[in-house]
Amino acid sequence: MEKKIVTLDVSNLWTPYISNTLGTCVNKYALQTITDPDIHNIYDKALHLSKNFVQKITGIFQNENFPIPYGFTDEDVHLNAPRLFSDDFWLFYVHEMTIHGLIAYSLGITTSPRLDVRQFYSEAFKEATELFNTTLGMMQSKGLLERPPTIALPEKVEFAEKQSFIAGWFGNHRPLNAIEISSLYFNLQKSIMTKDLALGFRQTAQSKEIRSFIQQIIELAEEHISTFSSILQNDFISSSISWDTHITDSQIAPFSDKLMIYHCSFLLQTAMAYYGTALSGSMRRDLGLKYSAAIASDAKLAEDAANIMIANGWLEEPPHSVDRRELPE
Q: Over 80: is that where the pLDDT of 245 sits?
A: no
For residues 16-21, give the mean pLDDT: 94
For residues 181-194, give the mean pLDDT: 90
Q: What is the pLDDT of residue 149?
A: 60
Mean pLDDT of the chain: 86
Q: What is the pLDDT of residue 113?
A: 80
Question: What superfamily would CATH give domain 7-141?
Answer: Ferritin, core subunit, four-helix bundle (1.20.1260.10)
Segments making up each domain of the chain, as ranges:
7-141, 172-311
Q: Over 50: is that where the pLDDT of 61 sits?
A: yes
Beta bridge partners of 77: 255
Higher pLDDT, 125 or 329: 125
Q: What is the pLDDT of residue 154?
A: 61
pTM of the entire predicted model: 0.87
Most confident of 60-69, 193-202, 274-283: 193-202
Distance of CA 279 to CAs 160, 275, 295, 311, Å? 19, 6, 10, 34
Band the pLDDT of 144: cuts 50, 70, 90: confident
Q: Over 70: is that where the pLDDT of 10 sits?
A: no
Higher pLDDT, 97 or 167: 97
Q: Over 60: is that where the pLDDT of 326 sits?
A: no
Report the run of H or E that residue 60 belongs to, with start and end: helix 37-63
For 33-56, the pLDDT digits (tens) are 999 999 999 999 999 999 999 999
Which one-letter amino acid corresponds to residue 164? Answer: S
**Overall fold of domain 172-311:** Ferritin (1.20.1260)
Q: What is the pLDDT of residue 169?
A: 47
For 254-270, the pLDDT digits (tens) are 999 999 999 999 999 99
Q: Over 80: is that where the pLDDT of 134 sits?
A: yes
Q: What is the pLDDT of residue 116?
A: 85
Asked whether the domain spanning 172-311 has the same topology as the one spanning 7-141, the reply is yes
For 65-118, the pLDDT digits (tens) are 888 999 999 999 999 999 999 999 999 999 999 999 999 899 888 888 888 888
Nearest CA to 129 out of 164, 94, 102, 104 is that of: 102
For residues 7-30, give the mean pLDDT: 87
